[in-house]
Chain A
Amino acid sequence: MAETGRVAGRDWAVEKDLGARSSRVVDGLRAYRMITAMWIRSTMAYRASFLMTTFGNFVATALDFVAVLLMFSRVDELGGYTLPQIAFLYGLSSTAFGLADLAVGSMEKLGRRVRDGTLDTLMVRPAPVLAQMAADQFGLRRLGRVTQGVLVLGYALATVDIDWTWAKVLLMPVMLVSGAAIFCAVFVAGASFQFVAQDAAEVQNAFTYGGTTLLQYPPTLFATELVRGVTFVLPLAFVNWVPATYVLGMPLPLGLPGWAAFLPPLVAAACCALAGLAWRAGLRSYRSTGS
């Protein structure tokens, strides 16, 4: 914290000089770190408000799980899955999404910046626009959602029946990181789309919030075409469905072979690359308001 604070205090002019020499990725990460550190400090100035909104975020997502609990007060199984098994899917989806939302969730505000012309301010600064946009209004309160996901995952791990192998143990952190990366790619791709359709920002909610809601339930519930769509077209299934069914020892969706469970890192890398291309195309097509 002290270290980032010191970096954040540095002058933009110095950064520009450094940026010219270092690679773009390092540059972007440094800008991201500086801006988030600034927003965290500004959030901490209103500590009570921070605690309340974090708690609010926690409750908001917790109610989501209460709905699942209410369902299980009436049934013992849903789509062949027990409550601990669904909690496992839920915890993975919610944690991965929460991490992505924490890291780049601010991207969904891009449409507003395009509309009111403040995106131009970001473009004249000597730091990648993507990093600035992702770190903009960095909301540490979103830790509330991550906390909720981790708690549900903890409950699942304590109650669910899994034949643990080393491969499965290793797959756990890989799954969370890849899942978060896939959701990050969705956020970035959604923001790129907002360059074109500024007012239609809500479409992205169908894939981000809709995506995480979908993944909280077992794949056996949904129509095959839908499962195919989120496996091969928008590969959200690799966030948890494909790897998690393997860990649980349940049949993989669409009869995929077992090795598919180890694909999430590759899928995540491909998604991020595509999202990066979409972002570039979007940014290049950007025309300022012009006044």
Chain B
Amino acid sequence: MGTGRLYATVAAGGFRRYATYRAATAAGVFTNTVFGLILVYTYTALWDERPHLGGYDLAQAVTYVWIGQSLFKTLASGGGGVEGELMERIRTGDIAVDLFRPADLQLWWLAADLGRAAFELLGRGVLPFVFGALVFDLALPTDVSTWAAFLVAVLLGMLVSFGIRYLVALTAFWLMDGTGVTQMAMLTGWFCSGMVLPLNVFPGALGEVVRALPWSSLLQAPADLLLGHADPLPTYAFQAGWAVALLAAGRLVQSVAARRVVVQGG
């Protein structure tokens, strides 16, 4: 009970911390909306040319754009969660202090990241989506259960996203400077999560591969649920499978890394 409260407090702290920067949030909402607009027009041209591309109709494709812009920061498809700070702590050695704390390192950062993700969902996700729904003709479900199923998939996507970024951050134990890895992770995440183009539009074998990778849990999986394009249970199983695998791998790497930490000074 006591530990549960600890992580809840950490998560609430993560939420409040990101909520502090109101101007930055407003700026982000604006930028996501502009990018959403540009994408809507390119998708419209694409679906005009090939209706039912990837099994979506035009309204579904346009909806996909706004889901993507709304979840971009929440699911940190291109990085930008708490992992940057974690890397910095590993580089400077502050991580030694964290390892001495009577709290689990992975759960601590997971809680902080979930708090952040929850804020980004409300603060940065809702407005672009509302804008999209008001200005364009979206294919939105009318029943509450589909929306609930969507939110569960978003939550599972948050876990998978953290699992990936935690592994990326831990590379700093070996590499010290994480710029290169962060950049590569950002590119892969952005491309393979379907931010550029829905993954079911990717042709042939490339499509098969990207749809099986963990990044498809981030945007494609929740979007397909909301668009009525997938069933909840297989989607959850896929996402949960990756979440468990990635978080377990993170734990393994963490225990190896913790043995490498040398505390300097005296």
Q: Which residues of A contact B (CB under 8 A)?
A: 49, 52-53, 56, 59-60, 63-64, 66-67, 70-71, 73-79, 197-203, 205-206, 210, 213-214, 217, 220-223, 226
Q: Check B1 for interface membership: any CB of A closer than 8 A.
A: no
Contact partners of A53 in chain B: CB under 8 A:
179-180, 183
Interface flags for B50-73 (1: CB within 8 Å of A; 0: not) read 100100000000000000000000
> In the complex, what distance in Å separates the CA atom of A59 from the CA atom of B190?
12
Q: Across the interface, do B50 and A78 meet the contact criterion of CB distance under 8 Å?
A: no
Q: Across the interface, do A60 and B24 meet the contact criterion of CB distance under 8 Å?
A: no
Main secondary structure of the interface of B (DSSP, over half): helix
Q: Across the interface, do A221 and B45 meet the contact criterion of CB distance under 8 Å?
A: yes
* Chain B, residue nearest A197 (CB): B23
Inter-chain residue pair count (beta carbon < 8 A): 98
Q: Across the interface, do B180 and A52 meet the contact criterion of CB distance under 8 Å?
A: yes
Q: Across the interface, do A217 and B41 meet the contact criterion of CB distance under 8 Å?
A: yes
Other-chain residue from B38, B49, B184 in contact with A214 (beta carbon distance below 8 A):
B38
* Chain A, residue nearest B47 (CB): A75
Q: Across the interface, do B45 and A78 meet the contact criterion of CB distance under 8 Å?
A: yes
* Chain B, residue nearest A61 (CB): B187
Q: Across the interface, do A205 and B203 meet the contact criterion of CB distance under 8 Å?
A: no
Q: Check B93 for interface membership: any CB of A closer than 8 A.
A: no
Contact partners of A203 in chain B: CB under 8 A:
27, 30-31
Q: Check B21 for interface membership: any CB of A closer than 8 A.
A: yes
Q: State how many residues of chain B have any CB contact under 8 Å with chain A.
A: 35
Q: Across the interface, do B187 and A63 meet the contact criterion of CB distance under 8 Å?
A: yes
Q: Across the interface, do B21 and A199 meet the contact criterion of CB distance under 8 Å?
A: yes
State the Cβ distance, A156 to closest chain B Cβ, in Å: 18
> In the complex, what distance in Å separates the CA atom of A207 from the CA atom of B37?
13
Q: Check B28 for interface membership: any CB of A closer than 8 A.
A: yes
Q: Across the interface, do B179 and A202 meet the contact criterion of CB distance under 8 Å?
A: no
Pull 28 A–B residue pairs with CB atoms less than 8 Å apart, ordered by A.
A49-B180, A52-B180, A60-B183, A60-B187, A63-B190, A70-B196, A70-B201, A71-B197, A74-B46, A78-B42, A79-B45, A199-B21, A199-B23, A199-B24, A199-B27, A200-B23, A200-B26, A201-B27, A202-B27, A202-B28, A202-B30, A205-B31, A210-B34, A213-B35, A213-B38, A217-B41, A217-B45, A221-B44
> In the complex, what distance in Å separates the CA atom of A205 from the CA atom of B179?
21
> In the complex, what distance in Å separates the CA atom of A223 from the CA atom of B22?
31
> In the complex, what distance in Å separates the CA atom of A203 from the CA atom of B196?
21
Interface flags for B5-42 (1: CB within 8 Å of A; 0: not) read 00000000000000001111011101100110110011
> In the complex, what distance in Å separates the CA atom of A201 from the CA atom of B201?
34
> In the complex, what distance in Å separates the CA atom of A72 from the CA atom of B147?
33
Instruction: Please judge, given known A-B contacts A49-B177, A63-B196, A70-B203, whether A77 and B49 are in contact too, CB under 8 Å.
Output: yes
> In the complex, what distance in Å separates the CA atom of A262 from the CA atom of B33?
32
Q: Across the interface, do A56 and B46 meet the contact criterion of CB distance under 8 Å?
A: no
Q: Check B191 for interface membership: any CB of A closer than 8 A.
A: yes
Q: Across the interface, do B203 and A74 meet the contact criterion of CB distance under 8 Å?
A: yes
Instruction: Please judge, given known A-B contacts A56-B184, A60-B183, A74-B203, whether A67 and B45 are in contact too, CB under 8 Å.
Output: no
